[in-house]
Amino acid sequence: MIKVFIDGREGTSGLQIEERLSARPDVQLLSIPPEKRKDTLYRRDYLNKADIAFLCLPDEAAKESVILVENSDTIIIDASTAHRTNPNWTYGLPEISPEQRKKISQSKRIANPGCHATGFILCVYPLIAKGLIEPNSLLTCTSLTGYSGGGKSLIARYETEQLKLLAPRPYALGLNHKHLPEIKAITGLDIHFYPVVGAMRQGMLVSIPLFTAQLNGNPCPLLVYELLTDWYQKCPFIKCMPFGGDGCLEEGFLDPSACNGSNRLELFVFGNETQILLIARLDNLGKGASGAAIQNMNIAFGLPEDLYLQ
């Protein structure tokens, strides 16, 4: 049995992780008494007797929890942004490369990626690695996400004032979104990022427009599609959808919620002779958060990567 403690289980990510793990026969969830969840001594005890601890906390609280861990065998997966660019932590996106997956399997400190960052990185990383995108390229990205990514307060507002909030709502307009540092750390790119909250609870579309002239060799969209398909062919949760979205569109529209409830990430390539559009579709609470955390747990314990995940 894997003993699991979720520090911050009352938050959106914590509840999702607990729900996903509660049915697993190989997991024992360590539940701290509700009245003791902010008691440092209790939290220290639970953190140190766990085989793995998920930190679903604000950044500063996550850093404090790490300090409490004295058991060298306890694996920590941090869902906050606190350690994503820390060189002493492993970035938990195994699809980057076989080497990254191996690092996760050997690490005791794993930083779970951000949802927007996951979509962007998985779209462009193979193109950077293959030399199609230069490290000094200036890219833009628009990401439409469900309101659940904003936590309990935003969820409550949308679900009580739904009629007032139907229109898409851009945010992080200071152009300093918290996922930008990890995108820079993994891809080397400084990007112009435009996130938007939609009226749906879950789901997201991360979109990157490109001109073929921006890419080395001026590749056609089909070549880019084939490169991505080859890169991710052994990744159980990443699927390159039919080129041009053939058979995947609903009356010409792309549904942002089609991966909800799963750990899947679907990649789309659209384009013509001069332009390419890359889109990653995922559940912001799945591959963008709790699903990815459990995927990293499976890898860290040497289990099948897709065990009890879909």
d(CA 193, CA 198): 16
Structure tokens at 136: 């000094």
Q: Which residues pair with 209 in a beta bridge?
A: 277
Task: Kindly tell me the sign of the dihedral angle through the C-alpha atoms of 304, 239, 296, 122.
Answer: positive
User: Collapsing DSSP states into helix, strand and coil, what is residue 279?
Assistant: strand
Name the DSSP class of 65. Answer: H
Cα separations (Å) of 101 from 94, 123, 175? 4, 18, 31
Location of structure tokens 């660019």: 85
User: Collapsing DSSP states into helix, strand and coil, what is residue 52?
Assistant: strand
Q: Residue 73 is which amino acid? A: D
d(CA 63, CA 230): 38
d(CA 155, CA 30): 27
Task: Kindly tell me the sign of the dihedral angle through the C-alpha atoms of 236, 107, 282, 163.
Answer: positive
d(CA 7, CA 100): 26
The residues that are catalytic are 115
